Amino acid sequence: MRKLAAITIFTVLLIPAFGQDTTTPNPKKTGRPDIPGTFTLELGVNSASGSPSTFDIGFWGSRSLNVYYQYEMRILKSKFSFVPGIGFSFERFKFKNEYTLDYNGSSLIMVSPQTAGRTNTKKSQLITNYIEVPLEICFRTNPEDPARSFKASVGGRVGYMFDSFTKIKYKEDGEMKKLKDKQDFNLQKFRYGVSAKIGVGNFSLFGYYNLTDLFQKDKGILENSQVKNFNTVTVGISLSSF
């Protein structure tokens, strides 16, 4: 909670650096208050494309929370705008089989609860946290009234992973315990991908495809004597505050 509070405060402090509103207020303009930029909150579910069978993640437990500050810059007087931003992405992957990541020598493997000696495992997750720069080209049917306008955008994100760990919840001697293992697990530090949104006003549906592998090249999960590298996909809802 302390970390999340610090991240939120840091994001708020970034507003003066990005928000320089030089336009003249229009008293007839409705829908969007005259404030610099917007905050965007995205809630999504993650899936893994081409992952090994042991990397078996659940639908609802594998989710993303993205918090961005974005500043929309209209392109001349057109219906298009360029929307840069900065923020954070908090991702988790919940394993249905309760496996967890570990090393076998220099190789990364998925370990079962039985092998790890925790047969009463209740929950196993991989958590990755990123600082990200989203960039979008947005089309609005009515740029003068964005709160009531249909919109569609395409773009991408560039991110840096600043934190990663596995978290296991298990029962031992009648007591519920939690184990956190803070490592990089051969995960990619830098990532980039493509995104798209469609919606009305401050509500959108979004999709994001990670063009980089989740793990470093040739350092993914070892399964059946083969190293598996794979991408991730996130879909969900996006809410913006004007």
pLDDT in tens, 164-174: 999 999 998 88
Higher pLDDT, 49 or 155: 155
| Residue 83 DSSP class | E
- Picking from 47, 31, 24, the residue whose alpha carbon sits closest to that of residue 93 is 47
Read off φ and ψ for residue 13, nearest 5 degrees. -65, -15
Percentage of the chain lying above the pLDDT 90 cut: 72
Query: Within a 13 Å sphere around the CA of 108, how many CA atoms are in the beta-carbon half?
Result: 21
> For the ranges 31-40, 92-101, 102-111, which has the lowest average pLDDT?
31-40
Q: What b/e string do you get for 141-153 counting C-beta neighbours within 10 Å, with b at 16 or more?
A: eebeebeebebeb
Average pLDDT score, the chain: 87
Contacts of 61 (CB under 8 A, 6+ apart): 92, 94, 123, 125
C-alpha distances out from residue 238 to 43, 44, 56, 211, 230, Å: 7, 9, 26, 21, 25
What is the rounded average pLDDT of the residues 51-78?
A: 94
CA 114 to chain centre: 31
Give the predicted TM-score (pTM) of the model.
Answer: 0.82
